[in-house]
Structure 1
Amino acid sequence: MGSDVMTLPPFGQELRKEFCMRKGSMFLNHGSFGMVPRRVKDVQKLYIDKMDDHPDDWFRRTNLGKWKVGRDTIATFVNAEPENVVLVQNATTGINTILKSMNLKEGDGILATDNTYQAIRYTCEHMKASNNGSRYHMMDIKYPIQCVEDVVDQYRQFLSTHPHIRLAVIDHITSPTAVVMPIQKIIQVCRDHNVLCMIDGAHAPGQVPIDITDLNPDFYTGNLHKWAYTPRGCALLYVKKEHQSWVRPLVTSWYYLKEFTMEFFMQGTRDDCAYIAVPDALKFYEDLGGMAAITGYTSSLLDHVTDRMVAEWGTDKLPIPRDMEAPCMKMIRLPKMDQYDVSTAEGYRLMDDLFYEHDIQVQIFCVLDNLYVRLSANVYNYPDEYSLFINLIRDVAQNKRPMCLNRKSEKTTGVSDMPFSDK
């Protein structure tokens, strides 16, 4: 990364021009798929062009050196030794890598929670189905949460009564509820019960501090394309040295059993340009002012917005303590709306209606028998666009404004047609 600091517009509406979002779209859901800055996308395009200029030169001579620079930059960002870090497409890939490398025996268990990302829960179910006699345990996170010890005690009690659990998948920040989990304390509880820790940090890099050396997990994976501005398809996977002898990438290729990091690098003709653009993405992150400036802005913005929502909708936030709220993501209960029942499918339908009718993109989850909106803000968001959303939901709840008036008669594929939500 270069040392010169680029001059950028102030946070808010003026900064939208630094990103690639289409004009007129109200994008209140940064966390699901991120938003690539124009200058980072330009760097990615330059590398793609270089790859296409001479593929043999790229794959035989150039790619590895640049991949290592990207990997080393990520390792520094999370304070991990580079030889313990590899690059994968996303956090789901990282968790699949670890779980599918495990040699589970009859009775061995994997632990997740009801707040675990659905694709990871499916992976746990797959492990149970493909390993004769292994078990999948799901622990329900109990709300309201008064303090971090409430969650730590839940893990302690569950592991005490389920002694055959071998690995726990632990969210750093939960996807459907945006809760910052006390992972350092949970890791220690797992150590006390001889349980391996797989930390799912899908939403963590760039949003909360990460110090792998201090945390000392067995495994950690996290996306860079959500909150650290890399192109999509870029995540880290940390594997503690003592486990590298048995962890294998999902794709077996030329470096099988030869060298740990090279096994993950050598994956055929994969496009690694997202990984290679990491130094430029993190330079953009630092040019914005780094974590303190970014999360200071988003926290203040979302505090103001959520207070308005609670007041104008007559609802409340997810019942968790302040120190477990994510700085760039907040959960607010939606008011009752006659047009929408309380279910996951109805939440998807509401998301589609907001998108097709008003070009508003939010994420809605069914939590605690209510529909909640998960707001996920970044430096290009600003108060006025939230006002439009607040007023719209209030009017629909009060039956002052119907939805779906202009929906096309021919169904257009949208979120509700897809078998997944997103992180």
Structure 2
Amino acid sequence: MGTDAKSLPPFGQQLREEFCMRKGSMFLNHGSFGMVPRRIKDIQKLYIDKMDDHPDDWFRRNNLGKWKKGRDAVAKFVNADPQEVVLVQNATTGINTVLKSLKLKEGDGILTTNNTYPAIQYTCEHTITSNYGSHCHTMVIHYPIKSDEDVVEQYRQFLSSNPHIRLAVIDHITSSTAVVMPIKKIIRACRDYGVLCMIDGAHAPGQASIDMKDLDPDFYTGNLHKWAYTPRGCALLYVKKEHQTWVCPLVTSWYYLQDFTMQFFMQGTRDDCAYITVPDALQLYEDLGGMISITEYTSSLLDQVTERMVTEWGTGKLPIPRDMEAACMRMIRLPKLEQYDVSTAEAIRLMDDLYYEHDIQVQVFCVLDNLYVRLSANVYNYPDEYSLFITLIRDVAQNKRPLCLKRKSTKTTGNSAMPFSDK
């Protein structure tokens, strides 16, 4: 269907109208669930209407061709063979697909890190319960990180000391700390030790360059509904051809034992419209200027905002090298806030108070014994938008005003209805 690049406003405040966000809301957290562009949502609605107009015609005659176009567009976007790429609901689905196909022998291990996204950590732990005698190992990534070689060396030392690890789950960009991992070097290190690599690229497509032929991972999964502008519930899963004989979809359906990619199609009467919008979403991404223009804007914006926060709050950034900072995400340490202890439960309470009291949406994590705010910027964000948040946190830290005015804030028990960030 295509988009009209000529009608796109410039980056910043004017571009907010192009996204489906509530008016007046300060949305500084694109990274968790994304924000669908209106024109892509409209295209999705047109496909849904076409599906509902005549379901038999859609599922028997139209869906497959459009699904293949979506898959092919993703493959081109990440420089992969279309026969090695399928579309799945999200990165968690992609990792579940691989791990639940993996057959481990007694003593075999799966490697994660202390930065692994909790849902993925749970998946690894569940996997070993189905493989008697296998183990889940967690490697601690130490801070400060002086260079990417520090991280690679940590992997080499851990793999050398744990020779029975079969597969490593490796973040491309960590969720809780927004660190760009040196995945190409880590993949090489894993190969040296005969370890399979499952790359969790939940935050990467659209934010970081991905070239499957250059990286050559065993498996790679990444969300398209965050930084690549598709509707939610859309991700890629790359499986190297040599592993396609044993990796299978979570749902067995009509194309069982047929072509690998086709096995992931026709999952019952699933709504594939999010997948089918992929060519339009990636075209919009290019119409906005592509990776160079988008990430230059977001990185410059976050540099400016981060400097203000560090100066006005008297804190600092996560101690990592500049070249390991994500282009669209930053981690800034919050000042001491007397109302909030340092814990995951209190980070969630702070997020809720910011939202309910001030309609500010950010992501807060407990990292290195401090509370950090993870900012996720996209092309609709702009410098002045952050001023209220910066001033509010500064004043609360200096006891000039409480954060909660409209409702009574109480200590949490850790039973928040939403204790996650969707990566």
User: TM-score of the superposition, structure 1-length normalised?
Assistant: 0.97
Structure 1 runs (4+) greater than 6 angstroms displaced = 408-411
Rounded to whole Å, the distance in 1 between the matches of 2:6 and 2:158 is: 50
1:183 maps to a residue whose letter is I
Structure 1: how far apart are the matches of 2:36 and 2:357?
25
Match of 1:338 in 2: 338
Aligned-partner Cα distance in 1 for 2:79–2:203: 17
The CA deviation at 1:2 is: 4.5
Does residue 165 of the first structure (1) align with residue 165 of the second (2)? yes
| Contact preservation (8 Å) 1:233, 1:274 | yes
Whether the 8 Å CA contact 2:32–2:421 is kept in 1: the answer is no
How far is the alpha carbon of 1:410 from its aligned partner? Answer: 12
The match for 1:328 is 328
Equivalent position SS for 1:145: coil
Q: Shift of the alpha carbon at 1:362?
A: 0.2
Rate the CA distance shift 1:351–1:256 in 2: closer, same or farther, 3 A.
Answer: same
* Post-superposition CA distance 1:270-323 (Å, at most 9, x none): 000000001111111111111111111000000000001001000000000000
Q: Which amino acid aligns with 1:159?
A: L
Contact 2:392 2:403 in 1 (8 A): no
Q: 1:165 and 1:384 mapped to 2: Cα distance?
A: 49
Counting only pairs closer than 5 Å after superposition, residues 11-410 of structure 1 correspond to structure 2 as 11-407=11-407
CA distance in 1, matches of 2:254, 2:82: 21
How many aligned positions are there?
Answer: 422
- Offset of residue 6 of structure 1: 3.2
Q: Distance in 2 between matches of 1:46 and 1:174?
A: 35
C-alpha displacement of 1:254 = 1.3
The one-letter code of the counterpart of 1:70 is G
- Report the AA paired with residue 315 of structure 1: T
The amino acid of 2:284's aligned partner reads F
CA separation of 1:307 and 1:124: change in aligned 2, threshold 3 A = same
Counterpart of 1:179, as a letter, is V
CA distance 1:415–1:9, change in 2 (3 Å): farther
Any gaps of 5 or more consecutive residues in structure 2?
none
Q: Give the secondary structure class of the aligned counterpart of 1:138.
A: strand
User: What SS does the aligned partner of 1:416 have?
Assistant: coil
Determine the C-alpha separation between the residues in 2 that align with 1:101 and 1:124. Answer: 12
Q: What amino acid maps onto 1:195 in structure 2?
A: V
Preserved contact between residue 352 and residue 415 of structure 1 (Cα < 8 Å): no
Unmatched 5+ stretches in structure 1: none
The 3-state SS of whatever aligns with 1:6 is helix
Instruction: Tell me, in whole angstroms, the C-alpha distance in 2 between the residues paired with 1:415 and 1:300.
Output: 37
Aligned partners of 2:348 and 2:2: how far apart in 1? 43
For 1:293 and 1:326, the matched residues in 2 are separated by 15
1:4-15 maps to which residues of 2 (within 5 A)? 5-15=5-15
Q: Per-residue CA shift, 1:233-256, capped at 9, x if unaligned?
A: 000000000000000100111111
2-side partners of 1:317 and 1:154: how far apart?
A: 22
- The answer to whether the 8 A contact 1:357-1:403 is kept is yes
Once residues 419 and 338 of structure 1 are traced to their aligned partners in structure 2, the CA distance between those partners, rounded to angstroms, is 22
Q: 1:109·1:134 contact (CA, 8 Å) conserved in 2? A: yes
**Which 10-residue stretch deviates more, 302-311 or 259-268?**
259-268
Contact residue 351 and residue 415 of structure 1 kept, 8 A: no
Q: CA shift at 1:403, angstroms?
A: 2.1
Give the conservation status (yes or no) of the 8 Å contact 1:332–1:373: yes
Q: Aligned in 2, Cα 1:409/1:57: closer, same or farther, shift over 3 Å?
A: same
Q: Please report how far the alpha carbon of residue 390 of structure 1 lies from its aligned counterpart in structure 2 after TM superposition.
A: 0.3
Q: Is the 8 A contact 1:348 1:415 kept in 2?
A: no
Q: Any conservation in 1 of the 2:331–2:372 contact (CA below 8 Å)?
A: yes
Distance 1:4 1:15, change over 3 A: closer
- Find the aligned partners of 2:420 and 2:30 in 1 and give their Cα distance: 17
Question: Identity across aligned pairs (percent)?
Answer: 81
Distance (Å, rounded) in 2 between the aligned partners of 1:82 and 1:149: 33
- Separation (CA, whole Å) in 2 of partners of 1:201 and 1:32: 13
Contact 1:340 / 1:346 at 8 angstroms: preserved in 2?
Answer: yes
**Structure 1 residue 401 displacement after superposition:** 1.1
Letter in 2 for 1:278: V
Deviation at 1:21, TM superposition (A): 0.2
- State the one-letter code of the partner of 1:193: Y
User: Which letter maps to 1:165?
Assistant: I
Query: CA 1:420/1:153 → structure 2, altered by over 3 Å: closer, same or farther?
Result: same
Please provide the CA RMSD for this pair.
1.7
For the structure 1 residues 415 and 220, does the alpha-carbon distance in structure 2 shift closer, same or farther, using more than 3 Å as the test? Answer: farther
> CA 1:9 to 1:415, structure 2 compared with 1: closer, same or farther past 3 Å?
farther
Q: Structure 2-normalised TM-score?
A: 0.97
The C-alpha deviation readout for 1:63-109, integer Å capped at 9, x for no partner, is: 00000000000000000000000000000000000000001111110
User: How many angstroms does 1:3 deviate by?
Assistant: 8.6
